[in-house]
Structure 1
């Protein structure tokens, strides 16, 4: 995007340089969208209770948001060229703020999901626009400084999001997790109107309508099929039809996009970037790592609140240290990549991640919270060693003219895989819970430990005022059913983490093929004014994380 749009304003004379004003304004919008995602994650169990819905239904609050981001992100370049960067930024910020307010007003789950779609569509433009606005104002030799300043709020939002969201959900109500965006959004809009300058459009592109329709229909149908498998079963006609139809639509999408690109047109996504070997291998590894990340983000709050009885605020506090571990790991990994190369940072990180996922396969309802927190810290530290270096590797050999296309493809993949990961993990937990429940229920006999517990519970309820012997017996059986359901859910979560462990191990294999090229020392003479393409790619990659 940054190659097709230029600013028309003259440099600012006196006061704060305009480029730093752009950075400050962009931080507000980007911080709000990142904060929103981490706050909503912690509220999933509360939303289940508020709307009386199961896990598969509530996960659409997350998956619909991230899926529409993946579909809408490629539209950023086209809309920015037609509307201008400033105007699109303000429209996106206003739309996201209004969507947040509407989410707080939702009185049923379908309405909340619909308003989350509005949020996601508007928020999808924020990250690409942030990259474009910064690249338009900061010269190549200063983009590292801009990255460092932008990285602080990006890292702080996930750190404090679960704790802030947990406090709001526990003591104020789930609606406030959306209303909190409104004042931030209003301040961001006012700052954008006052300080941002409109850009001059240098070129106009045609909108790839077939590509957009094929990708939207294909992804939505595929995601619906994955989500519905938990209730209808993988072999149901509806699920198989959705999966096959969605897959066919995406295959046609790939064919159409390649045809448009090879004919010299401008596709929605330029899939020719996959001819770049580092880009392809890094994205393959990133897909598996994303499953490990979002599977944990989705399951851990449910485990802590529904199975362990913590409040949302208590769960948020327990999650706080892991966010700082990820922050430290990201900063350390960034320095190590420049010193020893990408591969030798990624592989140890993925091995540690695989080990962390293995630890989670042993969790149960009696796992000490201190032990569980250590597992979270190890997992987050490993993730910090994976995501940023993988992005650096992906863009390391992309020529400057193709960076916008590569960034768009990479961002779209991240959003789409995130939504699919949540849907798949939720489906695994639902289906495996039913499987384990049936298996455990068969083992509850009169001579089994749980079977022997029924008369004891019955006597307990009689002593404590049960209206009749039959009522006491029914209450005792209900307690046993609850215990069996609890254990079945824990076993299902163990299965989900086992799948994540396997995917992390596959990512280790994929990362072996990632090329490792340490950063070259740049000359200190006048030649330093010209930045090599590899360095520019690293800057772009880090901004896109």
Structure 2
């Protein structure tokens, strides 16, 4: 792959590498925002379409399934179409899908339009990473990842707040319409400012790999989405998990077989042989589990048990957003200076501390202490998420960025679904168990019927504590995985190694 000679020049005084970040941040922000903003609107969608929650939930499930299926094809389309053209195409599909979702006249049409939206959204973040990392030298990828991470961290943090405001003071279509002007601005800037970089070789599409990955990921993500309602022991869930295991095992065997024979692969699983990529993925999966699991748990605590509105609970989470953004920018510089491990490990420990404190929450916990915990959680996220991204891609050559970012994104999708499914199931089962025990105690104490509401709330509180304790255990495993991340800085490379990396960026 040949890079244009003007790749490092400036436009209007700003280096091109920063122009790339300013452009692709629109797509990165929109696709991650959309994963969180709709959650707050589910009760409103139930009312609007007169449908039960398990049916309305498909507006989220369909989107996640589509992203999981389409993301592995990112590398092929980037090589075939070109990074700029494919990014603009994906952003256009996502924007059109968002507009159609806001115009949906029934729940089935909303689900169909969410699938279209998911097709575009599946590619935006991995392509954004690919475009950004191609422009930044190895010793600056920490700060590049941090700058792009502002969108990645801001979107899930403000999603509940923005969604709560729009649902409260407007109506549910606006949670989708808000993407339209952002998408249009992103497309115009992309056409005007981005430069095309295309592969000189035309790769063939790995149809066998796609069919196996698509069917395997569909079965897995579908099972994880329904496990919280149907139960892990349900015949449908067990069957889907077994089928997904068989299909994904066949996918792994097929891809490795094709790679050994130098054939085109959908996902280059040999990248897991790279130590930083492997352990960064493992730590990222575990932290994604507890992070998105927390996004699921906190509204239950704040709204169902503490009586806050959707907007109030969203506002309470805002300090986390600002703390994560500030620490992401600082964390990127620290990664470039000291390597990933000295930055990630403190972040993992802070995250574990906040989860431990959340496991001790009560119905009377001070809101000021909650704000402190959310601030610490934001600090931890800023030190973890983007530094792990930089660590995962630190040894990758430019032609591997699309493959590596696609694989990294697929792992994130699966761990997100897994975290929500496991924690949701745990809460439901443990709430019943705790309620049964509390009712027995109330009967022994001859408590009146007025105590039932208190019993239900206390049972749910104890179930949430159990879920947070599980998150503590997962976070501790993440600390262990983070300990194996190589902390070597690019500045520590020998002259020969650094020259090789720089030459690779100019030639590939």
TM-score range relative to shorter protein? 0.7 to 0.9
Hey, what does 1:490 align to over in structure 2?
Answer: 461
Q: Which residue in the other structure is 1:409 paired with?
A: 407
Matches within 5 A, 1:465-544: 480=452, 482-520=453-491, 533=501
Tell whether the 8 Å contact from 1:226 to 1:427 is kept in structure 2 after alignment: no
Deviation at 1:159, TM superposition (A): 4.7
* Corresponding position of 2:291: 293
Corresponding residue number in structure 1 for 2:282: 284
C-alpha contact 2:146 2:332 (8 A) present in aligned 1: no
Would you say the 8 A contact 2:69–2:213 is kept in 1? yes
Further displaced range: 421-430 or 291-300: 421-430
Between the aligned partners of 2:433 and 2:201, the Cα distance in structure 1 is: 57
Distance across 2 between alignment mates of 1:148 and 1:366: 37
Checking the alignment, whether the CA contact within 8 Å between 1:227 and 1:426 is kept in structure 2 is: no
From 349, 361, 364, give the equivalent of 1:363.
361
- Counterpart of 1:462 in structure 2 is none
**Could you tell me how far 1:290 is from its partner in structure 2?**
0.9
**Is the contact between residue 69 and residue 218 of structure 2 (CA under 8 Å) also seen in structure 1?**
no
Cα deviation, 1:107-157, whole Å, max 9, x if unaligned, reads: 555544443332222012212332344456667788777666545555544
Who is 1:209 aligned against?
207
Cα distance between partner residues in 1 of 2:228 and 2:322: 35
Of 220-229 and 369-378, more deviation after overlay is shown by: 220-229
Higher Rg of the two aligned structures:
1
Q: CA deviation at 1:59?
A: 5.2
**Structure 1: 5+ residue stretches without partners:** 455-479, 538-545
C-alpha contact 1:215 1:250 (8 A) present in aligned 2 = yes
Deviates more, 1:31-40 or 1:310-319: 31-40
In structure 2, what is the Cα distance between the partners aligned to 1:408 and 1:124?
9
C-alpha displacement of 1:211: 1.4
What stretches of structure 2 of length at least 5 have no aligned partner?
none
2:186 maps to which residue?
A: 188
**Which of 322, 328, 332 is the matching residue for 1:334?**
332
1:222 is the counterpart of 2:193: no
What is the distance in 1 between the residues matched to 2:11 and 2:346? Answer: 48
Q: Say which SS state the counterpart of residue 202 (structure 1) adopts.
A: coil
- The alignment's TM-score, normalised by the length of structure 2, stands at 0.86
- Supply the distance in 1 between the matched residues of 2:177 and 2:249 (Cα, whole angstroms): 40
Is the CA contact 1:62–1:422 (under 8 Å) kept in the aligned structure 2?
no
Do residues 322 (structure 1) and 320 (structure 2) align?
yes
| Equivalent residue runs for 1:105-504 within 5 Å | 105-106=103-104, 109=107, 111-134=109-132, 150-196=148-194, 200-445=198-443, 447-451=445-449, 453=450, 480=452, 482-504=453-475
Query: Bigger CA drift: 136-145 or 367-376?
Result: 136-145
RMSD: 3.5
Shift of 1:239: 2.0
Q: Is the 8 A contact 2:133 2:141 kept in 1?
A: yes
CA offsets per residue over residues 282-330 of structure 1, 9 Å max, x none? 2212211111111011221233223322222211211110111212222
State the distance in 2 between where 1:31 and 1:437 align: 41
Cα contact 1:227–1:424 (8 A) shared by 2: no
Structure 1 pair 519–376 and aligned structure 2 pair: CA distance change class (3 A): same
Question: Structure 1, residues 361-414: CA drift from partner, whole Å, max 9, x if none?
Answer: 122332222222222222222222222232233233345554443232222212
Against the structure 1 CA distance between its residues 308 and 60, is the aligned structure 2 distance closer, same or farther, given a 3 Å change threshold? farther
The answer as to whether partners of 1:352 and 1:379 remain within 8 angstroms in 2 is yes
Contact 1:396 1:534 in 2 (8 A): no
1:89 to partner: Cα distance: 2.5
Moved more, 262-271 or 115-124: 115-124
98-107 vs 399-408, which deviates more? 399-408
CA offsets per residue over residues 88-111 of structure 1, 9 Å max, x none? 233212211121122223455554
Q: Would you say 1:80 and 2:51 are equivalent positions? A: no
Change (3 A) 1:184 1:137: same
114 and 486 in structure 1: CA distance in 2 versus 1, 3 angstrom threshold: farther
1:400-457 per-residue CA deviation (whole Å, 9 max, x = no partner) reads 5544432322222122222232233223223333333444444442843344x47xxx
